[in-house]
Amino acid sequence: MNKSEPNDYPMLAMQVTNLKHGGNVYENAKKLNLLPSKIIDASASLVPFDPPKILIDSLKREIKNLGFKYYPERNLRDLKEIIGRFHGVNPENILPGNGASELITWAGYEASKLGLSCIPSPSFVDYERSLNCWNSNFIHCELPKNWNNIFPQSFPLLPNGDVIWITNPHNPTGQLWGKNSLEKIIKKYKLVICDEAFLSITPNGDKESLIPLTQKYDNLIVLRSLTKIFNIPGLRLGYVIGSSKKLQQWRNNRDPWPLNSFAIKAGIDLLSNTKFYENWTRKVHNWINIERERVFEKLSRIDNLKVHHSSTNFFLIESKTSLSPNIKYLENKGILLRECTTFRCLNEKWARISLQSKKNNNVLCKEIQNSFKK
């Protein structure tokens, strides 16, 4: 059991529960005897576009060249070079990973060496998995449950502890934290882990990135993912930026080949063409700005349902009564929402919804409305 320490913020006793993720498309399609493509998965927050042609060409090339016949290059030199150029960071300060999730495991390893971790909650459930994995001490610090629609916002907590886990924008609330407010707290901790998995997908998000500050603060590490922005959850590709000494230690301890050759080549091709990247993110941001407004407006008409503001492609809804029957009703129609009972500080009256294509958002909103009539 983890010990707790004096703290000015509400804390929750640690209890090991089933830590759940969204995105269980295969499982639900099988239950309903449907093709996975027929499921509207609003439980995982991805872009609704097919992956870009650059990516498909990259994967085809890898097959044609039989590149997977060889062990991947262990240093990941080319990929680090491209990521370094993309962010203006030295390749030595970069470590690519098998999705941000693998790197969250290693961030937990780093945190476990330093003492008490503070997890602003509700939060992405994987931080807890990672800290449990290293038998590390942690507390949950409750975030205020009301916020306005002006982003970025000031980070509202400063809990006592050694390590703080920040998610920007925050999952599951969708709040974008301002870089200036985050910089103010860096000096207070032995380690600040900032998970920017959704930052590039978020309109005006990249301005708030802490990546430039990694050169100034040795106790800051920033996690990134290519999963969300390119809709490639099955490829597994992310990276961390931070102190080369720390990252070298992670590298020494991890699997020898955590990234497969397809993910490596895809990463290189996706990040080396700036023009393509700018056009793609512009398309993604336009989609979010338009659909978020439409869906917000439609769902806000439902009695007794509060739709919370978000800076990004997912948001929380809160009902006066349990949303479990609604979620069940939708599941039977092949529509998945992220139920929130497995998020600390939330309960069955909350659900997280991710934006879909215009057509699927119309179906989603209509069926959510219907679910309240049952």
> Which residues, numbered 222-241, are part of the site for ligand PLP (CB under 6 A)?
225, 227, 233, 238
Q: Which string of x and - marks every residue 49-88 that binds ligand PLP (by CB under 6 A)?
A: ----------------------------------------
Using CA atoms, how far residue 28 sits from 33, 36, 335, in Å, is 8, 8, 9
Among 28, 43, 58, 101, binds ligand PLP (CB under 6 A): 101
> Which residues, numbered 107-146, are part of the site for ligand PLP (CB under 6 A)?
124
CA dihedral 12, 14, 15, 21 (to 10 degrees): 80
- 310 touches ligand PLP (CB under 6 A): no
Piece in contact with ligand PLP (CB under 6 A), picked from 96-104, 141-149, 260-268, 294-302? 96-104
- 197 touches ligand PLP (CB under 6 A): yes
The answer to whether the beta carbons of residues 107 and 221 sit under 8 Å apart is yes
- 99 touches ligand PLP (CB under 6 A): yes
Q: Which string of x and - marks every residue 153-192 that binds ligand PLP (by CB under 6 A)?
A: --------------x---x---------------------
Among 89, 100, 263, 295, binds ligand PLP (CB under 6 A): 100
How many residues touch ligand PLP under the rule CB under 6 A: the total is 12
Q: What own/partner pairs with CB < 8 Å and gap ≥ 24 does 356-365 have?
A: 356/40, 356/42, 356/48, 356/291, 357/48, 358/290, 358/291, 358/294, 360/40, 360/48, 361/291, 361/294, 361/295, 363/40, 363/335, 364/40, 364/42, 364/295, 364/335, 365/295, 365/298, 365/299
Q: Which is nearer to ligand PLP, 94 or 305 (CB)?
A: 94
> Tokens for 148?
């306005």
Q: Which is nearer to ligand PLP, 264 or 305 (CB)?
A: 264
Nearest-CB residue for ligand PLP: 99
The answer to whether the beta carbons of residues 246 and 221 sit under 8 Å apart is yes
Give the bridge partners for 140, in sequence order: 12, 119
Q: Which is nearer to ligand PLP, 214 or 371 (CB)?
A: 214
